[in-house]
Amino acid sequence: MRVVIHDMSYEEINKIFNNKANIHFINDDNSIKNCIGCYGCWIKTPGQCVLNDKYNDMGSILSKTDELIIITKCYYGGYSPFIKNILERSIPYMHPYFSIKNGEMHHKNRYDNRFNLEVYFYGENITDNEKETARNLVNANLLNFNCILKNIKFLKNTDELYGDIK
């Protein structure tokens, strides 16, 4: 399964993805609750967020994906607020326990699944410093989610995505 997390409009995303078979789209419909840092997803309901909305099963969704595509406006070298929130709500994908990866402490993975990750940052004037910060952020996500980087691109606008994503 392919999962596409994006902060674009319905019309924009439909232009990019002609064939929507086997794609799970996650978009901002203004119904997501913010992660409250309660760690209930590790203690009370392991693997599932305790907040009751349609995003409480992000860990399970990621456990079934082969490819995760993130399309986000670049905010100072980071993800848009919605994308950041989705990734925070994906903490159930991991265990609360730690292991050392590349000399750094990271959470152990709850699932054996390894997926490919593509990240597309868009914005008119993304600076070199913002690009470096974004690359570092994506690399940290690669370690935390135990995934494989397939692509990271910086675009001026979403029109540059058309035909770019297969």
* CATH number of the domain located at residue range(s) 2-161 in this protein: 3.40.50.360
* Cα dihedral 76, 139, 89, 42 in deg (nearest 10): -140
For the chain, domain boundaries? 2-161
d(CA 112, CA 119): 22
- The DSSP call for residue 63 is H
Both tokens of 67, joined, read 């490819």
pLDDT in tens, the chain (166 residues): 999 999 999 888 888 887 777 899 999 988 999 999 999 999 999 999 999 999 999 999 999 999 999 999 999 999 999 999 999 999 999 999 998 888 888 889 899 999 999 999 999 999 999 999 999 999 999 988 999 999 999 999 988 888 667 6
